[in-house]
Amino acid sequence: MYQRLSAVLFPLVALLFIGSIYWGYQEHQEKNSILIKAENQYQRAFHELSYNVQQLHNQLGHTLAVNSTSKNYHRKSLVNVWRLTSDAQSKINQLPLTLLPFSKTEDFLARIANFSYRTAVRDLNQEPLSAKEHETLKTLYAKSKEITNDLQGMQSKVLQHGLRWMDVETALATEQSSSDNTIIDGFKTVDKKVEGYPEINWGPSVSAMFERRSIKMLSGTPVTAKDVKHKAAKFLGVSDPNRIKVTEQGQSTEYATYSAVLERKEGNVQLDFSKKGGQLLRFLDNRDIGKKRVGVARAEQSAKKFLDTHGYPSLTAVSYDNNGRSVNLNFVAIQGKVLIYPEKLTVKVGLDNGEVVGMHAEDFAYEHRTRKIEKPKLSEAEARKVLNPEFKVNRTEQAIIKNELSKEVLCYEFIGKINGQFYRIYVNANDGVEESIEQIPGIGEDNLPATS
């Protein structure tokens, strides 16, 4: 009996054993194939990064080599600088550097890209490169040479010693990067060197892009937790301020805020205030929102009443996002008859009962001020002439927006339709330049976004 059983089981076990070996071999081959493919991608990205930075250095040299009056070549060369810098940033994103400190170099490249792009797109005939911008280009030329030399040194070592990027990824993922890892040490050296660069004059437009908002930008004196507790109680209509718990966030930093929380069975309510000036930045009612029972028009009325009650007058709704059970209404300030888009504020309304359940007022808090608005040099009719003849205008307003250079400009806002879609087109009220265009999704002739 055992012989007959063995005669049956032995071939079966042998077959399973051979099959498992074959399966393991196949898995090993597939794993190796994936690793080889990943390694090839990393190697290609690294060598292309080195090449891009070298070409960036050369292009900066070309920009400095031509006569200061060669505006057309300056524009062409700066566009190439922007393209090469963007390519270099793309290659960095393809490398396993997320766990490796390389943020200073990425930030440096991002600033070069924005500096070159913003300089190239302006009218160099009217506003040629300034002496300060020439000095900035000279600094960038010198610093890009240093980065190029460091990357090429790493490149030589990688090729000479056959270094593998997969080893770098493994070391970073397991936090076991050894002190003699050439690639890791090389990138750390580059980033440390960039961090030590002296302050570069990027100009106001680029600096504004990278400027983080802080309490220094707000007016008023610092408030205490007790002050915030009373402010929150007044905002929520709570008679006993002690029901509200206040905690400080970012203590002893320039981004310090207070969070005030009112605990309720139906959901907590949270308000965030700036420490300087005690300005409300965010409000959120975490109650569950029921089925939709009211429309957007009712929600807008409720939002306007809410804003008036809490000291936000002279605001008008310009757009909304319907999220099913709630709607986000976007408001901007009005000065005279001009819409002030930098002073924007979003109110969230539950469509079950039309009550406000949230507000985001950070932009309004930081940007709110009285502006000196000059009379536009162009009439509405003159500004309208630059529009596409097929663009059917439904509504026109005057508005202040921030252009690509982060400068506030007075525009005519034309809301209309072309190619079956509604758009907002902003035309500079002084020189007729089309500053910006925005598509307005999900609207028709009967529900254009509200304005004053």
**Mean pLDDT, residues 253-261 taken together:** 80
Structure tokens, 409: 């400009």
Is the full-model pTM beyond 0.75? no
Q: Which pLDDT tens digit goes with each residue over 307-357?
A: 999 999 889 999 888 888 899 999 999 999 999 999 999 999 999 999 999
Q: Tell me which of 10-14, 110-114, 156-160 is least confident.
A: 10-14
Structure tokens, 114: 């924005």
Residue 347 pLDDT = 95
Measured between its terminal Cα atoms, the distance across the chain in Å is 97
Residue 386 pLDDT = 92
Q: Residue 64's pLDDT band (boundaries 50, 70, 90)?
A: confident
Q: Which pLDDT tens digit goes with each residue over 169-201?
A: 665 555 554 444 667 777 777 777 777 776 666
Q: Residue 420's pLDDT band (boundaries 50, 70, 90)?
A: confident
Tell me which residue of 200, 61, 64, 206 sits closest to 121, measured CA to CA.
206
Average pLDDT of the residues of the chain: 81
Nearest-Å Rg of the Cα atoms of the chain is: 30
**Mean pLDDT, residues 16-35 taken together:** 60
Examine the pLDDT at 210 and tell me if it is beyond 60: no
CA distance 429 to 201: 30
Examine the pLDDT at 123 and tell me if it is beyond 80: no
The beta-strand segments (E) located in 220-337 are: 244-249, 257-262, 269-274, 280-285, 315-322, 326-335
Examine the pLDDT at 72 and tell me if it is beyond 50: yes
| Angular region, 228: left φ>0, alpha ψ -120 to 50, beta rest | alpha
